[in-house]
């Protein structure tokens, strides 16, 4: 009989080892899945994990890693602060859209003026757009006790409608021959987030790295970070310590909204280039997985964001080169999260194989 | 006491790292009230769990009425006539008494018959109880009656009671003892677990004393002094806290007309509470659990705000201040619930030292934490209060209840409070540690700190407090000097408990 025993102390070794073990287990079981589908599992795994970084066409894929990883990390860092305190912002996708809309809106308002201050203004506007969208569930929760999970999630769909309306109306390119979508910001130098387009380097990558450092210092060295962790661990003890729950809700939701808005703004001013109906591709939701895959730790999230970006790009290559169905790739990504959460148990519990006691 | 009902022979049970019971033997006679005495961690609970079939002994055997007895599960033990009233009740607040009792039965009779049986048993044994009242509205004493009647309906031969009086007023204890005496006269044996020595002396026929899992003695309680029994329990001479003569200073804490609505459906609202504590004074607040103790502590700690003028500290109104600001002024508190309220279970002792120590111990500068200083503070607590732990990096959950309690109290005591409010400071702590915690509280008072000690342990309150008041349904009685206070007076102050008078026996 298998018995689970709670460890007196959470195991540090296991908490570091579980992500690695989870990735390995995903490779084994994903390989089996690909094998059943008639693809050589070793080739499939190599295509997903190896080719994007070291393969023949890596020069093309490596910049893609930065482009895909940066928004994931930026959003996930913000989400992780709230998740640690038990405040669940599920609507980062909506805040991402709003950041892009407000940021691009400010940039387009100056078109065709060339000035150094346009891009910084867009950054502030993008952060503001995400922040204000996240403040809606935050204020409703503080004032009326509404559920932030539902409100933030619903606001994603509102934001999507706004996005469609903007790309068909207010922000539509006047010289776009009637096609939906705004002017392309890549052709507007003052409103462009690229630093080095060939390397995939844009200001969003820089912002993501700064966010990782900021979150690390906050959580480990600052009272506010301590209060965030305390609230997640023991809400009553947090109140006893003097944490103001309302302020914490406003801070956590506000910060995560701000970072998601920034991610959207950097995306629209760089890799995507324009506001269009299909601008959002699910970074805001994938970032939830990234946050947990990185066990809500800033450095973990940085690594997890890279890994997630890798499986996306590798998955696309595998679809194109090996003819694997898109569903198989999604199952593969799902497995990763599944194994991680399942193995998480080992951090707090010890598994013992006990003989059944004879009555 | 001619026949032996249950004979326990050489029971041993070891858990990884600790021997809970080592070769324990004793007999319980038919119609005998047998006391099981011991400090926390002496192995009382493990022993009765073995008798009740919750835990299987490693070696040793039990003989019930001449037959070998090894219950594989509580159901088997119940079938053999053994019933147990646990210290913590397992009742559903939202259901009524009869429904709660029916839930514990394998084949519950129709509700009307069951209610009639409950009435019958409750009248026979002098335990007044209405089968159709909602459990959420019952006092702790009445809840215990539900548990006892649940056991009596099985017509037990041996009734095990684990610390039954810890939640009762003196008058309710009186009612309980009459019930137990009636049961004894009908031939039911009772195994009575307690550490309240005076109770055991009045009620029990024989006492078995356990220390560190071993039986260290047997005595006839009526013929042994409480002090001798206590010293057998502890294994050394007891240190009684000393109260130095002290002068009372000015009013440190002044609560007037404090009313706070109940936070939840089954909580208690504070109603017009008045209290004044002077520097150097210890005010003891007694009362049955659940009469507003938690709420009073929350209102004083700042977790729950009140009208600004309702609480004054050294003359300044602080009712609207939060916990951090109050700590800054020197009002420190230690809640009853150690894990989850006073300390975060999965955080280290260093982090838990920071939890309340950040303001007064100067552990942060402009929001940035000084981990080194926090660790020093945690180590100071560990050393000063003899907290048994490998070090400050261990999580709070890994400490035993008593050790964590020493840490939680020590954390506040070491911060030089001007006013200290503690709730159940020695709950679940062994006798010698309890004595040192009480001594620390008295030392603080001697240095001029005003102390409010909320507790359900009346002996403790009599020992350390200058004045005594009691909480009853959120109201605080007028405080009276402890000197010369009789048990009857205390009972009346705690009073108002429902169903106080003994039903027609």
Short-list B240, B230, B297, B229, CA closest to B268: B297
pLDDT band at residue B66 under the 50/70/90 scheme: confident
Answer whether residue B348 shows pLDDT above 70: yes
Nearest-by-Cβ selection for A233 from B303, B344, B398: B344
**What mean pLDDT is reported for chain A?**
91
B220 burial level (CB within 10 Å; 0-12, 13-18, 19+): exposed
B344 touches A: beta carbon within 8 Å: yes
Model pLDDT, residue B1: 44
CA separation for the pair A245, A249 (Å, rounded): 6
- Indicate which of B74, B340, B344 best probes the interface with A, i.e. most A CBs within 10 Å of its own CB: B344
Answer whether residue B398 shows pLDDT above 90: no
How many C-beta atoms lie closer than 10 Å to residue A149's C-beta? 15
Kindly identify which residue of chain A lies nearest to residue B397, measuring between CA atoms.
Answer: A8
b/e sequence A158-180, b meaning 16+ C-beta within 10 Å: ebbebbeebbeeebbbeeeeeeb
CA separation for the pair A2, B444 (Å, rounded): 51
CA separation for the pair B8, B54 (Å, rounded): 16
Q: Nearest CA of chain A to the CA of B355: how many Å?
A: 6
How many C-beta atoms lie closer than 10 Å to residue A28's C-beta? 13
Which CATH fold topology does B251-494 show? Answer: Rossmann fold (3.40.50)
**What angle is formed at CA B420 by the lines to CA B414 and CA B425, rounded to 5 degrees?**
85
Short-list A301, A315, A337, A256, CA closest to A70: A301
Span B154-168, mean pLDDT?
Answer: 84
Contacts of B303 in chain A (CB under 8 A): 239-240
Say if CB B359 and CB B415 are below 8 A apart: no
CA separation for the pair B69, B240 (Å, rounded): 43
In angstroms, the Cα distances linking A340 to A12, A169, A294, A303 are: 15, 44, 10, 14
Model pLDDT, residue A161: 96
Sequence-ordered list of residues with C-beta below 8 angstroms from that of A201, at least 6 positions apart, any chain: A63, A66, A194, A195
CA A327 to the chain's CA centroid:
21
Kindly identify which residue of chain B lies nearest to residue A223, measuring between CA atoms.
Answer: B367
A240 touches B: beta carbon within 8 Å: yes
Q: Which residues pair with B282 in a beta bridge?
A: B451
CA separation for the pair A54, A34 (Å, rounded): 22
In angstroms, the Cα distances linking B51 to A117, A308, B11, B64, B233 are: 80, 56, 10, 10, 22
**Cα atoms in the 13 Å half-sphere on the side-chain side of B211:** 12
Span A245-250, mean pLDDT?
Answer: 94
CB pairs under 8 A between A and B: 75
Answer whether residue A25 shows pLDDT above 80: yes
Note the CATH number of domain B4-234.
Answer: 3.40.50.300
Per-residue pLDDT tens for A126-168? 999 999 999 999 999 999 999 999 999 999 999 999 999 999 9
Sequence-ordered list of residues with C-beta below 8 angstroms from that of A247, at least 6 positions apart, any chain: none
- Whether the model pTM is above 0.80: no
Model pLDDT, residue B213: 83
B397 and A359: CB-CB below 8 Å? no
Answer whether residue B166 shows pLDDT above 80: no
pLDDT band at residue B145 under the 50/70/90 scheme: confident
Share of chain B above pLDDT 70, in %: 93
Span B113-123, mean pLDDT?
Answer: 89
CA A74 to the chain's CA centroid:
6
Model pLDDT, residue B384: 92
B373 touches A: beta carbon within 8 Å: no
Contacts of B390 in chain A (CB under 8 A): none
Model pLDDT, residue A69: 95
Model pLDDT, residue B501: 38
| Bigger pLDDT: B337 vs A249 | A249
A223 and B368: CB-CB below 8 Å? yes
Span B169-186, mean pLDDT?
Answer: 86
B398 and A357: CB-CB below 8 Å? no
Span A64-84, mean pLDDT?
Answer: 95
Which range has highest mean pLDDT (A211-225, B168-182, B246-260)? A211-225
Q: Domain coordinates of chain B in residue numbers?
A: 4-234, 251-494
Per DSSP, B217 falls in state E
A240 burial level (CB within 10 Å; 0-12, 13-18, 19+): buried
Model pLDDT, residue A248: 95
Q: Which domains does chain A have, with CATH numbers?
A: 40-323 (1.10.3470)
B354 and A226: CB-CB below 8 Å? yes
Nearest-by-Cβ selection for A223 from B343, B347, B358: B358
Question: Coil, strand, or helix at residue B266?
Answer: coil
Fold match between B4-234 and B251-494?
yes
CA separation for the pair B294, B424 (Å, rounded): 10
SS3 content of chain B, % helix, strand, coil (to 5): 35, 25, 40
Model pLDDT, residue B236: 64
pLDDT band at residue B241 under the 50/70/90 scheme: low
CA separation for the pair B187, B81 (Å, rounded): 13
Answer whether residue B502 shows pLDDT above 50: no
B337 and A236: CB-CB below 8 Å? yes
Model pLDDT, residue B15: 75
Say if CB B342 and CB B424 are below 8 A apart: no
Kindly identify which residue of chain A lies nearest to residue B346, measuring between CA atoms.
Answer: A233
Answer whether residue A1 shows pLDDT above 90: no
A12 touches B: beta carbon within 8 Å: no
Span B101-130, mean pLDDT?
Answer: 86
Nearest-by-Cβ selection for B369 from A223, A241, A357: A223
- What are the structure tokens assigned to B331, written together? 């009002």
Sole residue written with tokens 């030292």: B353
B244 touches A: beta carbon within 8 Å: no
pLDDT band at residue A349 under the 50/70/90 scheme: confident
- What are the structure tokens assigned to B486, written together? 């009789």
Span B148-171, mean pLDDT?
Answer: 84
Answer whether residue B162 shows pLDDT above 70: yes
Say if CB A240 and CB B303 are below 8 A apart: yes
Query: Which of 178-237 (A) contact B at CB < 8 A?
Result: 221-224, 226, 229-230, 233-234, 236-237
| Bigger pLDDT: B131 vs A15 | B131
B231 touches A: beta carbon within 8 Å: no
- Indicate which of A3, A145, A234 best probes the interface with B, i.e. most B CBs within 10 Å of its own CB: A234
Model pLDDT, residue A358: 45
Q: A140-149: long-range contacts (C-beta < 8 A, 24 or more apart)?
A: A141/A249, A141/A253, A142/A246, A142/A249, A142/A250, A148/A87, A148/A88, A148/A89, A148/A249, A148/A253, A149/A88, A149/A90
Q: Nearest CA of chain B to the CA of A237: how many Å?
A: 4
């Amino acid at each position: 009989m298998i018995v689970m025993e709670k460890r007196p102390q959470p195991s540090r070794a296991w908490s570091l080892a579980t992500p690695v073990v989870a990735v390995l287990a995903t490779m084994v079981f994903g390989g089996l899945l690909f094998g059943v589908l008639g693809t050589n599992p070793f080739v499939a795994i190599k295509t997903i994990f190896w080719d994007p970084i070291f393969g023949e066409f890596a020069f093309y894929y490596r910049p893609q890693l930065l482009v895909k990883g940066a928004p994931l990390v930026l959003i996930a860092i913000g989400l992780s602060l709230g998740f640690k305190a038990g405040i669940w912002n599920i609507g980062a996708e909506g805040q991402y859209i709003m950041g892009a809309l407000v940021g691009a809106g400010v940039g387009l308002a100056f078109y065709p003026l060339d000035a150094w201050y346009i891009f910084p203004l867009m950054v502030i506007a993008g952060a503001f757009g995400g922040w204000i969208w996240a403040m809606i569930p935050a204020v409703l929760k503080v004032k009326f006790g509404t559920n932030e999970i539902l409100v933030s999630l619903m606001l994603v769909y509102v934001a999507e409608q706004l996005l469609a309306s903007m790309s068909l109306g207010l922000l539509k390119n006047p010289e776009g021959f009637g096609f939906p979508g705004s002017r392309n910001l890549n052709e507007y130098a003052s409103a462009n987030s690229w630093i080095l387009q060939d390397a995939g380097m844009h200001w969003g990558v820089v912002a993501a790295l700064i966010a990782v450092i900021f979150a690390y210092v906050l959580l480990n060295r600052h009272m506010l970070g301590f209060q965030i962790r305390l609230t997640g661990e023991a809400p009553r003890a947090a109140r006893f310590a003097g944490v103001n729950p309302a302020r914490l809700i406003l801070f956590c939701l506000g910060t995560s909204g701000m970072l998601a808005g920034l991610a959207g703004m950097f995306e629209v001013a760089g890799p995507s280039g324009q506001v269009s109906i299909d601008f959002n591709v699910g970074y805001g939701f994938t970032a939830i997985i990234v946050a947990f895959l990185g066990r809500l730790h800033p450095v973990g999230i940085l690594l997890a964001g890279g890994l997630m970006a890798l499986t996306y790009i590798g998955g696309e290559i595998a679809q194109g080169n090996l003819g694997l169905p898109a569903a198989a790739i999604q199952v593969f990504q799902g497995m990763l999260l599944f194994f991680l959460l399942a193995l998480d148990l080992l951090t707090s519990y010890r598994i013992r194989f006990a003989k059944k006691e004879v009555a | 006491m001619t026949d032996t009902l249950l004979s326990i022979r050489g029971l041993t049970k070891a858990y990884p790292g600790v021997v809970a019971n080592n070769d324990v033997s004793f007999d319980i006679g038919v119609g005998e009230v047998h006391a099981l005495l011991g400090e926390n961690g002496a192995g009382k609970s493990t022993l009765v769990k073995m008798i009740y079939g919750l835990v299987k002994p490693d070696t040793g055997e039990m003989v019930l009425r001449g037959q070998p007895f090894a219950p594989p599960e509580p159901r088997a033990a119940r079938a053999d006539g053994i019933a147990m009233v646990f210290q913590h009740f397992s009742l559903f607040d939202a259901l009524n008494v009869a429904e709660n009792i029916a839930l514990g039965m394998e084949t519950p009779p129709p509700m009307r018959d069951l209610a009639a049986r409950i009435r019958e048993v409750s009248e026979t044994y002098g335990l007044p109880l209405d089968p159709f009242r909602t459990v959420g509205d019952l006092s702790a004493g009445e809840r215990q009656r539900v548990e006892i009647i649940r056991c009596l309906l099985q017509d037990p031969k041996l009734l095990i009671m684990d610390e039954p009086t810890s939640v009762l007023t003196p008058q309710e204890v009186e009612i309980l003892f009459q019930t137990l005496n009636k049961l004894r006269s009908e031939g039911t044996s009772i195994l009575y677990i307690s550490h309240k020595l005076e109770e055991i002396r009045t009620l029990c026929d024989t006492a078995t004393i356990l220390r560190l899992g071993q039986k260290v003695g047997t005595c006839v309680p009526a013929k042994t002094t409480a002090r001798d029994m206590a010293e057998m329990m502890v294994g050394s001479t007891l240190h009684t806290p000393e109260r130095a003569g002290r002068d009372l200073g000015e009013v440190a804490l002044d609560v007037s007309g404090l009313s706070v609505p109940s936070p939840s459906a089954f909580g208690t609202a504070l109603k017009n509470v008045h209290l004044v504590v002077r520097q150097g004074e210890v005010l003891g607040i007694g009362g049955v659990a659940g009469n507003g103790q938690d709420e009073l502590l929350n209102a004083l700690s700042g977790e729950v705000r009140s009208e600004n003028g309702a609480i004054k500290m050294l003359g300044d109104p602080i009712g609207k201040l939060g916990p951090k600001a109050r700590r800054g002024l020197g009002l420190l508190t230690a809640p009853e619930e150690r894990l989850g309220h006073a300390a975060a279970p999965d955080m280290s002792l260093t982090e838990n030292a920071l939890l309340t120590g950040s303001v007064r111990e100067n552990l942060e500068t402009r929001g940035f934490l000084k981990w080194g200083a926090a660790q020093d503070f945690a180590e100071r607590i560990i050393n000063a209060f003899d907290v048994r732990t490998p070090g400050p990096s261990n999580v709070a959950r890994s400490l035993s209840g008593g050790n964590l309690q020493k840490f939680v109290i020590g954390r506040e005591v070491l911060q030089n409070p001007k006013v200290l409010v503690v709730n159940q400071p020695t709950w679940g702590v062994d006798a010698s540690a309890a004595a040192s915690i009480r001594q620390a509280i008295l030392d603080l008072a001697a240095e001029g700190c005003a102390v409010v000690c909320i507790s359900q342990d009346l002996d403790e309150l009599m020992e350390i407090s200058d004045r005594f008041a009691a909480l009853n349904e959120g109201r605080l009685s007028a405080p009276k000097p402890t000197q010369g206070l009789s048990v009857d007076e205390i009972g009346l102050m705690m009073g108002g408990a429902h169903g106080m008078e003994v039903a027609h026996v």
